[in-house]
Structure 1
Amino acid sequence: MSTFSELGIHKSFIKGLKELHIEKPTEIQEKAIPVLLASKTDLIGLAQTGTGKTAAFGLPVLHNIDPNNSNIQALIIAPTRELVQQIQKQLFKFTKYVDHKIFAEGVYGGEKIDRQIQRLTRATHIVVATPGRLLDLIERGAIDISKVNTLVLDEADEMLSMGFKEDLNKILQFNTSRRSTWLFSATMPNEIKNIVKNYMSPNAVRIEVNKDALVNKNISHHFIQTHIQEKVNMITRILDQRPEQRGIIFCRTKAGTKALAEQLQNEGFAVGALEGDMQQKERDKVMRAFKNESLQVLISTDVSARGIDVNNLGFVLHHQLPEQLDYYTHRSGRTARAGKTGQSIALIIPGEMQKLIEMQKALGIVFREITM
């Protein structure tokens, strides 16, 4: 097990990491940091969320910045506003004890574009962005990415499944010759392979973290057999048993999310809903309440939960099994972060056992039954 200083991280950064209680490098940090510090290279990192990716690419990005050069030197693209804000916050905290100022700016939808344009007129070394808003700013001439020497794509598979394929292709076509591209993804669908083929070097370094574990090994998987009309009842009993734990309940539809939230609120549970029709202000309010623990449980659709990163979640509950396999991975990966353990519990109605058996096989996990 190496230390951050053995990996080549500068003392001043290590002091900032200590304060964030980041003492020992995770597997992805151990594998990626030395490579990214030592040479200009393209990199493909296969890693789930919650494995410490932000420091794995963030520290080398910060090491590469020339603070005396006021051009945008690094661009980090992520799927959601929440993830962008979180990466920007981390970078800021990593640089707390660094002598020279490194400025990182976040740009995303849901905030007035004029304010972002205004902020970008100051010296900015790193831009962290969602694809749509970034493209908008490039096309308005408010952001110049021609001097970027490092481009990071974080959660690339999430960006594609959210419909950002065209935006990403447009962004990746700028200044291809002079930059290194680092791509991180939990899964490798064909569309990601195309990005690799079209915009990255054939000699790109490949790093995989716990390759066999499609799903984080600190999560235990469970199912409860029930009936449609019994589900709400079952969920209240599960929550009653876990008064101290926080979690997320996943529903397939916006309407289902709203209805379940209302039913549980009427039962006196501190729950909030996240769904696609919400205004960004509302969404931020719910997320704040969840982060400061005045809400115990979030109820969310798959798309609305993108980019949520909250530590110490005890469980994820599936009101219904997701349509797609990788959704199960993304859902359950919201718990058991940063080395903690967590439970993933699926409510199964008659006729769904077959699907459960297929999921076990495909994901290499074992579901254990809980009887209530």
Structure 2
Amino acid sequence: MRVVNARILDECITMPESFTFSAFNLHPGLLAALPAQCQVPTAVQQQTLPSIIEGQDVLALAPTGSGKTLAFGLGLLQRLTEQQEIAQTAAENKSDLITAPYSRAHMRAIVIVPTRELAAQISTVLGPLAQSVSLTLTTLCGGVDVEQQIAEFNERPAQVVIATPGRLLDLLRQKLISLKAVQHLVLDEADRLLEMGFWPDIQKLMAAMPSLQQQLLFSATLPDELATQLTQLAPNAHRFAVGSQNSVVEGVSQTCYLVNKGSKAQALIKLLQEQLNQQQVLVFINARDSADAVAKKLNKAGIQARALHGEKDQTEREQALLAFKNGDIKVLVATDLLARGIDVTALPVVVNLDLPPSAPVYVHRVGRTARAGLTGVAVSLVCHGEAGALAAIRELTGEALPLQALPGFPVTDQPASDVRSKRPPRDKQANRRNANQRRNKSVKG
């Protein structure tokens, strides 16, 4: 059986065979560029593509791995292709009846994402599709030399740009790019953009897009604050919801072990050596410094591992991720930089060494496995101090997530509510005696 790119599979979860992408009247080039395994659209693609192609604003809520990239990507490329054909026809007829100015040298559409890794992944998926209809696509992200990036961009202007908000705003402030011709804006992982504090940057960027005509907002969750922001940005957006919000993807077997806080690293090593031997494992951890420390302990125990977090430079990040995807290392210890948008072919196991402080992040973390209809395992090592986080995850997902004992790791830590104060409270009589003594001393003085 031929091995297929995991991201493409994610975009092509099986639907009724009677419904194919040809039903959307997509450009022949786009249809031809779709892999053979990708002829049946997913639910989110079926629901949103007609509205996107018609030029309407869209707000789509869909779980991770449901096919959001191809949903907005195909719709966006179809719109741009139609505009390009109209402009060419008008030029041939020397007509002035063009609804909007069109220039191949100008950015027409921007997809804003929270991380460089997600930008690279989207470019990988949409690049061949854009090429099939003679559109140029590029990425503008941090971690790359600005002068080199702009030189390449000026040499080969792109109509579609995948960007992180920080780098895009920086280029705009330096007047190295113009957003005046942008007509289509996509915010992918909108909830994550909000969580990471990018919303003020996005508002500044939108203010620099006077020709903006269409906004496509894709998100896995819709917290109240985001709902308010999105209503302000696109009040007339057509809303679509696919699947149960905040639910864990089907096919994930979830296990939670109760361990001492100080025993987590050793418990992870035991799991990797005994239960998860020879499997690729993506380990999530909350703190950047801890990621490096844990990776070091794993290597010392003979387990090939690397750390990946936001303080690594772009080259280190790319090398670590590539080594993991290629199977050169078995374990990647990462912060939530990788909780969304990164796909590793048939990743079997995700481990939460720390529970995330935000319950929706748990859903995105475990969603790195069991993609494309496959099965996967999610293991969480939980200490008493994470009881609140576990309760929030249970409430959000509706999962029982019972705590199990991990053989060889007895729990000696006590729950916070059971821990006695280091200084026992004095009884009332002792308090009164001390108060009387202080008063007597005061009178004598």
TM over 0.5: yes
CA RMSD of aligned residues (A): 2.2
TM-score, normalised with respect to structure 1: 0.91
Looking at structure 1, the residues matched to 309 and 299 of structure 2 have their Cα atoms a distance apart, in angstroms, of: 16
In the other structure, the counterpart of 1:145 is 179
* Cα displacement string for residues 312-350 of structure 1 (whole angstroms, at most 9, x for unaligned residues): 111111112222212212211222222222221111234
- Give the residue type in structure 1 aligned to 2:108: Q
In the other structure, the counterpart of 2:333 is 299
* Cα displacement string for residues 89-144 of structure 1 (whole angstroms, at most 9, x for unaligned residues): 21112245x3x411011100110111221122233211111001111122222222
In the other structure, the counterpart of 1:83 is 118
Contact 2:61 2:245 in 1 (8 A): no
1:328 aligns with 2:377: no
1:36 aligns with 2:69: no
In structure 1, the gaps of 5 or more residues are: none
1:188 aligns with 2:222: yes
Looking at structure 1, the residues matched to 232 and 262 of structure 2 have their Cα atoms a distance apart, in angstroms, of: 50
Looking at structure 2, the residues matched to 92 and 352 of structure 1 have their Cα atoms a distance apart, in angstroms, of: 42
1:24 aligns with 2:59: no
1:235 aligns with 2:268: yes
In the other structure, the counterpart of 1:52 is 67
In the other structure, the counterpart of 1:285 is 319
Looking at structure 1, the residues matched to 387 and 227 of structure 2 have their Cα atoms a distance apart, in angstroms, of: 33
* Cα displacement string for residues 201-257 of structure 1 (whole angstroms, at most 9, x for unaligned residues): x32110111035532233222111222343233212322322342221112222221
Structural mapping, 1:302-317, within 5 Å: 302-303=336-337, 305=339, 307-317=341-351
Looking at structure 2, the residues matched to 44 and 350 of structure 1 have their Cα atoms a distance apart, in angstroms, of: 39
Contact 1:213 1:364 in 2 (8 A): no
1:220 aligns with 2:237: no
In the other structure, the counterpart of 1:167 is 201
Instruction: Return the offset for 1:361.
Output: 2.2
Secondary structure of the 2:229 match is helix
- Give the residue type in structure 1 aligned to 2:107: I
In the other structure, the counterpart of 1:341 is 375
Q: In the superposition, relative to structure 1, how do residues 340 and 368 fare at CA in structure 2: closer, same or farther (>3 Å)? A: farther
Secondary structure of the 2:55 match is coil
1:62 aligns with 2:77: yes
In structure 2, the gaps of 5 or more residues are: 1-15, 89-102, 408-445
Residue correspondences, number: 367
Contact 2:21 2:41 in 1 (8 A): yes
Instruction: Return the offset for 1:355.
Output: 4.6
TM-score, normalised with respect to structure 2: 0.77
Looking at structure 2, the residues matched to 185 and 76 of structure 1 have their Cα atoms a distance apart, in angstroms, of: 13
Looking at structure 1, the residues matched to 230 and 386 of structure 2 have their Cα atoms a distance apart, in angstroms, of: 37
Instruction: Name the larger-Rg structure.
Output: 2
Contact 2:130 2:137 in 1 (8 A): no
Q: In the superposition, relative to structure 1, how do residues 85 and 233 fare at CA in structure 2: closer, same or farther (>3 Å)? A: same
Instruction: Return the offset for 1:358.
Output: 4.2
Give percent identity, aligned residues only: 35
- Give the residue type in structure 2 aligned to 1:90: V
Contact 2:291 2:307 in 1 (8 A): yes
In the other structure, the counterpart of 1:127 is 161
Picking from 4, 16, 21, the partner of 1:4 is: 21
Looking at structure 2, the residues matched to 257 and 81 of structure 1 have their Cα atoms a distance apart, in angstroms, of: 19
